[in-house]
Amino acid sequence: MQLRFVGCGDAFGSGGRSNTCFHLTGLRTNLLIDCGASSLPALKRLGIACNDIELILITHFHGDHFAGLPFLLLDAQFSRRTQPLVIVGPPGIEARLTQVMEALFEHSSRTPRKFELSVIELAPEQPTRFGAVCVTPFPVVHGNSGGPFLGYRIEAEGKIVAYTADTEWTDSLIPLGRDADLLIAEAYTYDKAVKNHLSLAALEAHLGEIGPKRLVLTHMSDDILGRLDRIGHVAAHDGMSIDL
């Protein structure tokens, strides 16, 4: 399997990076993790066939993780997609998707599609299977607006990929990432405490408990981007690929 960082930036495009969007593929796996506002052009820039994506996992409803969906769905409609698409996320996702589609492209949520679209809510800590992929969401902590907030533990083709999403430290990150083949973790700051976000220092304090086989940092602000030469961990960049 392969994980590609389509976008790994924060909400402010720090370092010129695109909004969060990860592409996980394998013999029986083709999914996106989050779909921030800039995702469609980033996917096309990397030559990723959007209409082959079968599943999209949304962590929360902030624009840098969610607002690319209307563009992706309209592109699917106009490019004559026929393959079914499943979008999953926190409770309320179907209503939120309708709202953002109407805000950006009036009447688009009611336009008949040539492909089947399923929008499914996930309950925290309840594993759900989508074909060859098993997804277990974990509650994370990211403020009072734009939620509920979920991180994901994804099991597919004998591998485990875990993603903290945007969150301050919470003990749910331990079972989320425990022994994962790849843990993708927010590292918004180096050691500065910022409410609702994870610092590298807070993450490092618990890495021994999590025990991931590989760690890649994402969603980094300028505070940590300026220190990449001394952090001692792999930092994502747009277009980067990880083979699993």
HSE of 138 in the Cβ direction (CA atoms, 13 Å)?
21
CA 34 to chain centre: 3
**116-152: string of b/e by CB count within 10 Å (b at 16+)?**
eeebeebebeeeeebeebebbbbbbbbeeebbbbbbb
**Alpha helices, H only, the chain:** 39-45, 63-66, 69-78, 93-104, 173-177, 200-204, 207-210, 222-225
Catalytic residue among 10, 34, 64, 238: 64
64 noted as active-site residue: yes
Backbone torsions φ then ψ of 73, nearest 5 degrees: -70, -40
Tokens of 174: 């331990």
Strand, coil or helix: 179: coil
What is the set of active-site residues?
A: 64
